[in-house]
Structure 1
Amino acid sequence: MTGGPESAVLPPSLRRALGLIASLAALVVLVFGITYADDSEPGAVDARIWAVVDGVGPPWRHVAVVTDFLGEPVGAVLVVAAVVTGCLLLRGPRAAVFVVTGAGLTVGTTTLLKPVVGRTIHGDNLSYPSGHTAFLTAIALMVSLLAAGRLGLGRAVGTAFVFAAGLAAGATMGWAQVAMGSHYATDTLGGWCTALAVLPVSAWLVDRTADRLADRTTAGRPAYEPADRRTDAGRQECH
C-alpha cells in the first residue's frame, strides 16, 4: 500500500462473471433444497459416491480428519485468524473485514438453510447444505479474490483462478465429509454452491460500505489551503 485508498476486494473486472456464477450457484442450492427437503435417505448419486469413498482407511482417513477439523469451530477460528492476520500485515484492513464478514455470512447462511430444508443424516442430524464445505470454499474464494486483485489479473484469468481455488477447496472438504460419513455428496455440493452464491455479495457489500465511509470522511475534511496562502494570512494578522 502506498497511502492511497485500499483497492476493492471484488475487482471490477470480475464482478460480472462472479455475479453470474453466484446466480447459477444460488439456483442449484434452491433446486437441491427442494429436491431433498425433509429427506433422510441418500439419492442415487449419493449412494454411488458413498460406496466409493465411505470408510477410507489410513493414511487417507487421517487426511480426512485433519481436513474436517478446519471446518470445526476451533479450526475455523484459527483459519480465519490466520488469514485476517495476513491481511493486516499486508496493510489491508478492508480485506480483513471481508474475510470475517464473508466467513460469517457463509456459515450463517448454511445454518439458516438447514432447518428450512430439513434433510437429515444418521437420525436427526441436519445435513443440507454442508457448512464445512461452504466454509473452506469461502476461505479459498476470499484468498484467491484478494490475490487476483493484488496481481491485477484480467477477467478471464482472474475468474478461472478464483473458480479453480474454490473448486479445489470444495472438492477437498466435500471428499472428507463423505469419506467420514458426515454428509451426502449432494450436501457438500450444496455447501459449495452456497459459498459461491454468498461470497460475491459479501464482497460487494464490504466494498460499498467501505467506499461510503471513505466518501463521508473525505467530505468532512476541510479544503486544502496552500502553504503560501496561510503564510500571507499570518502576515496580515501581524500587521
Structure 2
Amino acid sequence: MTEDNSVVERTGWAPVRHFAERSVLGLIVVALFGLAFGVLLLLVRFHWSPLQDLDRSVADSLNRWASGSDTVVAVLQQISSFGGRGFLIPLVVLLTALLLIRRRPRPAIYMIVTGAGAMLLDPSLKALIGRLRPVVEVPVAQAPGNSFPSGHALGSMVVYGMIVLVFLAAIRRSWRPVFIGALAVLVAAIGFTRIALGVHFVSDVLGGWLLGLAWISVTAYAFRIWRREAGRPTPPLTDGLEPESGPDLRIAPAEPAVLPHPWAKAAEILVGWVFVFGLLYVVGYTVKRWTPGFDVAVVEWLQSFRTPGLDDLSHFWSKAGDTHTILAVSLIFCSLALAFWRQWRPVLFLALTMVGELTLFLCAAAAVGRPRPPVEQLDGQMPTSSFPSGHIAATMCLWAAIAIITMARIRQPWRWIFPALAVLMPLGVALSRMYRGMHHPTDMMGAALLTATWITVLWFTVRPNAHAETASEAAAEAAEVAGSPRKLESIS
C-alpha cells in the first residue's frame, strides 16, 4: 500500500470531497458572474433597444427627482464619494498596512492584487467599449471618461467585497450578517447615486457590479487554491478567506475598561469643557475690547514680505490646518494606533481632543465675535470670527495629542519626531494664517490657551497613557512569538 493510500485511509475521503465540491461550486459561481457580465456587455455594445429605453427612462426620472433639491444632490455626492478612487485607494492602503502590522501577509497580498486588478479593468473596458455618458435635462454632476462599466460600482464592489472576505474572521458570528448587510447596502447606495447624479446608466452600474463580483470570485478562488497548495485547510467562505487570522485582526481583545466609570467621567469632561469655554470667552472679550497695539502691527509687518512664492507656501501651510487635513491625519493615526497597540484609550483621547477643540472653537468664536485684522485677507470672507484661530487650535490639539500618545508607547529615539511636529506644524500654520491676514497674534494665543487647558482636562479624566506599558509589553511579546522560527508563517 502506498503512502498516499495510507493517508486517505486514516483521514477518509471527506476532506478531499469537500474541497472538490467547493472548487466546483466556486468555478460555477465565477462562470455565472462572468457570463452575466458578458451578456450585458454584448447588449450594451450592440445597442439593444429595450435596454437603451430602460436606461434613458430611469436616468430621466432620477434626474428630475435629484435636480429639484440642492440638499439631495449634496447627499448623493457625499455617498458617491465612498466609491471613488480618492477614498477607496487610501482605504485599501490603510487596511493593507494593518494586515502587515498584524503579520498577516497573505490577505495583504490578496488585497493588493485584487485592488490593482480592479484599477486596470475599469479604464481598459471603458476605452474598449467607448460608451458615452448619459445626457440629462438638468445636469447636476460631471464625470470624466466613458460610461460602461461604472468605475464607482466596480471599485466599491471589489473593495468592500474584499473587506468582507478578509475581515469576516474577526467579526463575531452573531454580528456577521449585520457586517455583510451594512457593506452591501453601502455598495447598493453608491451605485444608486451614480444613476441619480446622471453620470451613469442602470446598465453601467449593473455591469460594474457583475464585473466586480466576477473579479473577487476569481481572486478568492485563487487564494483558496494557494492555501491548499501550502497545506492549509480550505473552510467555507462564510468563515472568511483566512479564518485563523481572526484573533490577530480583532481590535482590542484584552484591553481593560477604557473608562471604568463612564457617566462620572462624562460629567467631569463636561464641567472641564464649560470652564475652558468660560476662560476663552473672558480672554476673547478682553482682546476684542482692548486690542493690543502689536496685534495689527505684526500682521502688517508680515504682509510687507508678500510675494507670489510666499503666498503659495502660506496656502500650503494653511491647508495643513484645515478640516479635511486634520480629519485625514486623525483617521490614519487612529487606525495605525489600533493596529500597533490594540487599545481604544488613545483613540478615545484623540477623538475627544478634536471634538472638544471643534466645539470650543465654534462656541467661543460665535460668543466673542471678534473681527478679522483690518488688512487684505488672502482667503476672503470667512464664516467664523477671528478669536480663537480654528486652524491653529486644531493643529496644536492634533499634534500635541499624538505626541502625548506616542511618547509613552515608543521607546526608539525617533519618537522625538512627534514632539518636534507638535511644535513645527502649529508654528507653520500660525505664521501662514497671520501672513494671509486672517488672524492676530492674540488669536494664536487663544488657540494655545484652548489647547493647553482642554488637553489638561482630558489628561486627568481620560488618562490616555494608562496601561501603555502593558500594551507595549504585550505587543513586544506578540512580535517575539510571531517572529520565532517555530511560529513564523511562510508566505508560500
Aligned equivalent of 1:45: 54
Q: Deviation per CA, 1:86-125, whole angstroms, max 9, x where unpaired?
A: 3334432211111121111123223222233332225894
Q: Deviation per CA, 1:213-239, whole angstroms, max 9, x where unpaired?
A: 799xxxxxxxx9xxxxxxxxxxxxxxx
1-structure distance, mates of 2:81, 2:211? 20
CA gap 1:133/1:18 in 2 versus in 1, 3 angstroms: farther
Moved more, 19-28 or 180-189: 19-28
What is the CA distance between 1:45 and its match in structure 2?
A: 2.0
What is the CA distance between 1:52 and its match in structure 2?
A: 3.5
CA gap 1:65/1:142 in 2 versus in 1, 3 angstroms: same
Aligned equivalent of 1:146: 166
Q: Which amino acid aligns with 2:62?
A: V
Aligned equivalent of 1:6: none
- Indicate which of 105, 110, 117 corresponds to 1:93: 105
Q: Which amino acid aligns with 1:82?
A: L
Aligned residues: 201
Q: Secondary structure at the match of 2:199?
A: coil
Aligned: 1:106 with 2:118: yes
Aligned equivalent of 2:36: 28
What is the CA distance between 1:196 and its match in structure 2?
A: 0.5
Work out whether residues 34 and 117 of structure 1, in 8 Å CA contact, stay in contact via their aligned partners in 2. Answer: no
1-structure distance, mates of 2:107, 2:36? 28
Work out whether residues 102 and 199 of structure 1, in 8 Å CA contact, stay in contact via their aligned partners in 2. Answer: yes
- Indicate which of 48, 60, 67 corresponds to 2:72: 60
What is the CA distance between 1:151 and its match in structure 2?
A: 5.5
Aligned equivalent of 2:325: none
Aligned equivalent of 2:219: 202
2-structure distance, mates of 1:19, 1:59? 45
2-structure distance, mates of 1:149, 1:17? 21
Work out whether residues 148 and 204 of structure 2, in 8 Å CA contact, stay in contact via their aligned partners in 1. Answer: yes
What is the CA distance between 1:189 and its match in structure 2?
A: 0.4
- When Rg is computed on C-alpha atoms for both structures, the one with the higher figure is 2
1-structure distance, mates of 2:25, 2:74? 37
1-structure distance, mates of 2:35, 2:126? 16
Q: Secondary structure at the match of 1:121?
A: coil
CA gap 1:68/1:116 in 2 versus in 1, 3 angstroms: same
TM-score normalized with structure 1 length: 0.67
Aligned equivalent of 1:117: 129
Aligned equivalent of 1:7: none
1-structure distance, mates of 2:129, 2:206? 15
Query: What is the identity percentage for the equivalent residue pairs of Structure 1 and Structure 2?
Result: 19
TM-score normalized with structure 2 length: 0.35
2-structure distance, mates of 1:105, 1:173? 20
CA gap 1:90/1:45 in 2 versus in 1, 3 angstroms: farther
Q: Which amino acid aligns with 1:79?
A: L
Q: Secondary structure at the match of 1:146?
A: helix
Q: Which amino acid aligns with 1:176?
A: T
CA gap 1:166/1:200 in 2 versus in 1, 3 angstroms: farther
1-structure distance, mates of 2:182, 2:225? 25
Work out whether residues 136 and 170 of structure 1, in 8 Å CA contact, stay in contact via their aligned partners in 2. Answer: yes
2-structure distance, mates of 1:146, 1:97? 11
- Indicate which of 77, 92, 95 corresponds to 2:89: 77
Aligned equivalent of 1:220: none
Work out whether residues 59 and 134 of structure 2, in 8 Å CA contact, stay in contact via their aligned partners in 1. Answer: no
Moved more, 161-170 or 73-82: 161-170
2-structure distance, mates of 1:76, 1:40? 33
Moved more, 186-195 or 113-122: 113-122
Q: Secondary structure at the match of 1:36?
A: helix
Supply the RMSD in Å over aligned alpha carbons.
3.7
Q: Secondary structure at the match of 2:45?
A: coil
2-structure distance, mates of 1:152, 1:19? 28
2-structure distance, mates of 1:21, 1:164? 20
The aligned runs of 1:117-196 (5 Å cut-off) are: 117-122=129-134, 125-150=145-170, 164=181, 167-196=184-213
Q: Which amino acid aligns with 2:53?
A: A
Q: Secondary structure at the match of 1:129?
A: coil
The aligned runs of 1:191-230 (5 Å cut-off) are: 191-209=208-226
What is the CA distance between 1:186 and its match in structure 2?
A: 0.7
